[in-house]
Structure 1
Amino acid sequence: MKEDTIDFGFRKVRVDEKQKLVAGVFDSVASRYDIMNDLMSLGIHRLWKRHAISLLQVRDHHDVLDLACGSGDLSLLIAPKLKSGQLTLSDINDNMLAVAKNRLIDRGVVGNVHLALANAESLPFQDNSFDRIIIGFGLRNVTHKDKALASILRVLKPGGRALILEFSHPTSSLLSTWYDAYSFKMLPFLGKIIANDSESYRYLAESIRMHPCQESLKAMMLAAGFDSCHYFNLTGGIVAIHQGIKY
């Protein structure tokens, strides 16, 4: 039977509505996205991202795709590592892509950088285009995660590495209880005070809970065709880094 509804946080919505609803969330928060990330994670997101980039193992000749690039944090860490390679920033949301573009220009990152407005489920790149692909805190917002994983695998070069940095499931019940209280009380409150939008941040908290657990996402990567799949828990499983190779 064909799927006609899908999760949007804790709500069920029509499949064809989710992309528009997610776009509305990020249109709303784009201008305050970086401030909110620092407040929500107490700045720890910067450490998570640096650790992810170290695991990505970028070399100076690589072609790298920063998928669901958001405001460009990961690209700012990747760009200094590339000399002859190319860096492509891609996001489905044009407001977020504009924020990322302006941040890179402000930091003097120009030249070997490209921008692409694109849906992760159907990436507009040729097969075997990238040596490295990273998607940071974006996969949980994708309507069909299996299609996105297949699309990522298609555009990854043989021998290439894909890495998913995403909120996940705490590994202890005590941490999980604290995290739930923080997420569902503090995040909407901060969203209201800083971005004048509590509902978008309530959705973001809900989307984290609905995202596949560590083992489930690993299984999805294997089913998509990735090899050597494994994951690393950070901050007690609040965040996980999943990695896969294309052979």
Structure 2
Amino acid sequence: MNSYTSSRLLRKGFGTIRPLSGSARAFTARTYQQQQQQSEPNTTHFGYKTVPEEMKEALVRNVFSSVASNYDVMNDAMSMGIHRIWKDHFIRKMAPTPGAKLLDVAGGTGDIAQRFLEYQDNINGDSSSTVHMVDINPDMLREGERRFVGSEWQQHNRIGFTVGNAEKLDFVEDNSFDVYTIAFGIRNCTHPEKVVQEAFRVLKPGGRFMCLEFSRVDNPMLAAIYDLHSFYVIPKLGELIANDRESYEYLVESIRKFPPQDKFAQIIRDAGFTTIGKGYENMTFGTVAIHSGYKF
């Protein structure tokens, strides 16, 4: 700016032109950063890939649409049947009381819901407990519905089904359920912390949140064996049984991206739940963990 231009600005009332102060420079830098962040999409992981957040839901939906018809067969093949023991223990640990209302989120093919109802009927002699299954994937939910077609549970309206997002359960009122379960599903959600917060909202005071999820094996030798099985055997089984290697590669990678036991337990406490002890129980050397919290 030359002296002539400067004098004209001063005559128009602009006053003395001074350099920006330190605080003003900092404010300008923050504003620029915020504008940059707003212009760039938030990202998350889809297995080992980085994708825009808004894409993950559709990508996960495609994976489970692909595997839905072979899901139960593959679970037996991948775990050599041990997943049945994990789920049985999960229900025994829940020890639901007569008349309990269960919300089973990411309910998939309905094996948790079925075990809950069998426990209530056979252990508690209770024919009043109900389950509402929620899954974001219609194909998975249809597999779950098939499990209950013609059953007494269906005939007596003890089982219901809704396609819904675990991060935003719009159809569920506050303080509605006694127990909330999510088994092998939360690691596929974009924001697991939002899922846990929604669980806290929909549970009654005194209600219980329970999550069954793959976790971390700490023993180095066992971890190496587990990695070999995960990254080589499971995708091969997916290719042979389900004709879908890629989906099972994602499922394996999603396990490694999920927070370890202590970190996820803290997410549960941060949502408002009270945990007993460390808040989780490892099974099969930490291959899976049961997380639990109470709404007090």
Give me the TM-score of the superposition, normalised by structure 2: 0.81
CA contact (8 A) 1:129 1:155 kept: yes
Q: Is the aligned partner of 1:240 residue 2:289?
A: yes
Partner SS for 1:143 = coil
Match of 1:18 in 2: 56
One-letter amino acid matched to 2:174: D
Q: 1:172 aligns with which of 219, 239, 243?
A: 219
SS class of match (1:120): coil
Matched residue, 1:132: 179
User: Which structure 2 residues correspond to residues 152-171 of structure 1 after superposition, within 5 A?
Assistant: 152-171=199-218
Unaligned runs of 5+ in 1: none
TM-fit CA distance, 1:96: 0.5
* CA–CA distance in structure 2, aligned partners of residues 106 and 189 of structure 1: 36
CA distance in 2, matches of 1:126, 1:182: 42
Distance 2:189 2:215 in 1: 15
- Aligned partners of 2:88 and 2:224: how far apart in 1? 27
Contact 1:40–1:187 (CA under 8 A) maintained in structure 2: yes
Is the 8 Å Cα contact of residues 49 and 74 (structure 1) preserved in structure 2? Answer: yes
How far the C-alpha of 1:85 sits from its partner, in A, is 2.5
Secondary structure of residue in 1 paired with 2:275: strand
Once residues 23 and 72 of structure 1 are traced to their aligned partners in structure 2, the CA distance between those partners, rounded to angstroms, is 17
Counterpart Cα distance in 2 of 1:85 and 1:188:
38
2:134 aligned residue: 90
Percent identity, aligned pairs only, is 43
Task: State the match for 1:52 in structure 2.
Answer: 90
Change (3 A) 1:106 1:187: farther
Greater alpha carbon shift after TM alignment, 82-91 vs 27-36: 82-91
Deviation at 1:171, TM superposition (A): 2.3
Question: Hey, what does 1:150 align to over in structure 2?
Answer: 197
Higher strand fraction (1 or 2):
1
Aligned to 1:63: 101
Bigger drift between 62-71 and 74-83 goes to: 74-83
3-state SS of paired residue (1:228): coil
| TM-superposed deviation, 1:55 | 1.2
What is the identity, as a one-letter code, of the residue corresponding to 1:40? M
Cα pair distance change 1:142/1:96, threshold 3 Å: same
Q: Between 33-42 and 111-120, report the one with greater CA deviation.
A: 111-120
Distance 1:159 1:127 in 2: 13
Corresponding residue for 1:9? 47
Distance (whole Å) between structure 1 residues aligned to residue 193 and residue 267 of structure 2: 7
Show the counterpart of 2:75: 37
Cα distance per residue 1:108-147 (max 9 Å; x no partner): 4312111111100011200001001110000000011111
CA drift of 1:41 comes to: 0.2
Please report the RMSD computed on the Cα atoms of aligned residues, expressed in angstroms.
Answer: 1.2
CA distance in 2, matches of 1:96, 1:19: 14
Distance 1:210 1:108 in 2: 40
Contact 1:56 1:162 survives alignment (8 Å): no
Distance in 1, matches of 2:265 and 2:61, equals 27
Partner of 1:231: 280
Q: Which structure's CA Rg is the greater one?
A: 2
CA distance in 1 between partners of 2:177 and 2:93 (Å): 16
TM-score by length of structure 1 reads 0.97
Preserved contact between residue 117 and residue 129 of structure 2 (Cα < 8 Å) = no
What letter is aligned with 2:234?
A: L
Q: Secondary structure, in 3 states, of the residue corresponding to 2:230?
A: helix
After superposition, the Cα gap between the structure-2 partners of 1:108 and 1:194, relative to the gap in structure 1 and judged at 3 Å, is farther
Q: Distance in 2 between matches of 1:76 and 1:121?
A: 24
Structure 2 residue 163 is the aligned partner of structure 1 residue 114: no
* Amino acid paired to 2:58: K
Give the Cα separation in 2 of the matches to 1:225 and 1:16: 27
- The higher relative CO (CA closer than 8 Å, separation ≥ 6) is in 1
The unaligned stretches of length 5 or more in structure 2 are: 1-36, 121-125
